[in-house]
Amino acid sequence: MSLTPRQRAFAEKFVANGCNGELAAISAGYSKARARQATHECLKNEEVQALIERRQTPVLAKLDNANVDDAFVLNGICALITRIETYGLGSWQSASLLKCYELLGRYRKLFTERVELSVDDKIIERLEAARRLAAAAQQLEPPELTQ
């Protein structure tokens, strides 16, 4: 069974839009109201999956050959922040700016959660008591019946 023009367009747009299914479905001609359902249906189709994979392979190969390192990523984020600040803060620009700062913060490990654990006598006593209870429970279990 061959792909319909809409399915083919969906696959092309899916790869072009960075794997955003709803946007790809709308761009391919599906209605906004049905975009999620159309995305689900298209992505279940094996032929659509195969076309997406064929289209993504050169893109992924290009990324593998690119010199993507810390400096490249940080420069890209900083350049995007500069562009957003230059063109103003609309709703999508604000969300993008927030995401950029979040990524920079993660890189700098500003948001690392730290959980302090201390081993005190109470914890050790609780562990020993739990071990004694487990051992006692094993001794009380009746043997399994074999037929």
Hey, how many other C-beta atoms are within 10 angstroms of the C-beta on 30?
21
Q: Are 14 and 26 in contact (CB under 8 A)?
A: no
Q: What is the structure's pLDDT at 87?
A: 75
Q: How far apart are CA 24 and CA 12, in angstroms?
A: 8
Q: What is the structure's pLDDT at 44?
A: 92
pLDDT in tens, 130-145: 899 888 877 776 656 5
Q: How far apart are CA 97 and CA 90, in angstroms?
A: 10
Tokens of 79: 């350049």
**Alpha-carbon separation of residue 47 from 53, 108, 118, 147 (angstroms):** 10, 43, 55, 53
Whether this prediction's pTM lies above 0.75 is answered by no
Calculate mean pLDDT across residues 79-108. 79
pLDDT in tens, 6-26: 999 999 988 887 788 888 999
